[in-house]
Structure 1
Amino acid sequence: MSAAIRQVISIANSDLTIIEHQGERVVTLAMVDQVHQRPNGTARRNFNANRERFIEGKHLFKICASDFRTHKPDTISNKSHEDVILLTQRGYLLLVKSFTDELSWQVQDMLVDGYFEGQRPAAPPVTQRIAQSRHRLALAKELHRTRDAGLREVIHQQLDEVSRAMGLPTPELESLGRSAPKTPDVLKVFWEALAFLDSKGVAYNHATASNILALNLRELASQLLEHGQPLRFDSALRQTLWQSHSPRCLHKNRTVHSRLSGKSIKCWVFERYSES
């Protein structure tokens, strides 16, 4: 329950203390009697007579009297020990269905418009809505481009926050591109073997560009065998390499000019992310 500074609003010549619970405005049964100018206990009697129609969490909240007094002092008697019934807007309208006099019709409109609806923030400026729309679109496009599963989750959380702020539904993650497939074990072993050669200072990349890997598989097999890391380059591994997404396989058996030998050589070519 909100413990903010006491706020009072005037409805139908009655001063009502604004009460909020779980982010929405609520009224007590005594407040209903007050604003409708009914004898004390009228709202309580009507509520008890129709208790089965009220759903907790939807139409009402029940709060311990002592807790209520702590957050909203001077709103109920110190002698009261009965749980306090807090009616939501839906609960209030359900309760006053039997109030059909002219004053009650007027009070219902004033209480809904001036009290319950008064909690809603004003719509953001048009420029802010446009900026939010552009940001939401940019996040959606980024999800289409991104294949890393963890990064996609982060971007989708941001998209959800922006969508909620705009009052719009959040697109399903699966509808915005796809995550990269899980790396097969055989491919994982291959890249671990290259990392081993890196640790030994073995030069195997024939490409000149920093974001490109150009690998001659026959030469690579000999280098791995020489350093005690034999790896069989069978058809299964070659097929898996061709389907590799990270690094992405661009060509197989493509002639490149080797930065190592200065000669032409057949290589499998991969594109990897720059480390800069």
Structure 2
Amino acid sequence: MTASLPQSLVLIGAGKMGGAMLEGWLRIGIDPKGISLIDPKPSDEMVALANDKGMRLNPSAKDIPAADVVVLATKPQMLDTAAPAVQAFIHPRTLLISILAGKTLGDLSARLPNAGAIIRAMPNLPAAVQRGATAAAPGKGVSAAQRATADALLGSIGKVEWLDDEGLIDAVTAVSGSGPAYVFHLVECLAAAGKDAGLPADVAERLARATVEGAGELLFQSPLPPGTLRQNVTSPGGTTAAALEVLMAEDGMKPLMRKAVAAAKRRAGELSG
């Protein structure tokens, strides 16, 4: 189904992730005059952007049209105190999209009973550069048209994966939500290993960083599976093969990553319990 962009959208929480989504929405052509921003302490940059684009900043609910979409992007711990104010922006035809970590569809429905259509989404940090990975789980009241609209909104900051089972969100958190930190740590480790091998620390860090940047871009542009890309750079008996014998050993990277993801998933479950 072709998505229709919302004519009236309310963003509640205009911090880093909210701001990244806002930039994406403006880029795909949403009329800024139909956007309302709710944030008790907006940054100077957000105030300037709102003034420049003609977006409403902290209007009362009675001063804006009935919202097609409300996006909830506050800190998760603020849900209980913010709920009464959020309720006022939700009308019978409003779609609520929440990116609050650990807050389930049930949590949201209980605190925001006006919301008949709710989507829970989990974006990640690269959304800030429009290369995010977002997983989304729709509630039972979401129509096909509303899902298509949400797909367009979330797709403005990167790739979107739809989940039939909300219970998979904890696994998503462990893989893509926390995953950027794993990659950043890989760069740290590669740079440290380069220093130990004799490179100046600054050279090792620049090379490690550029290597991961380039490998990520190659993954982005290539249709080949990561395993094939790995094989393409590995000559039999060569230096890469020698390193991969260590990384792909029984006690190498795969079991370590499994333990890391399992720990993150377990903690995600504890936080949402």
For the aligned pair, the TM-score class normalised by the smaller chain equals: under 0.3
Q: TM-score, normalised by structure 2?
A: 0.22
Looking at secondary structure, tell me which structure has more helix per residue: 2
- Higher RCO, 1 or 2 (CA under 8 Å, sep at least 6)? 2
Bigger Rg over Cα: 1
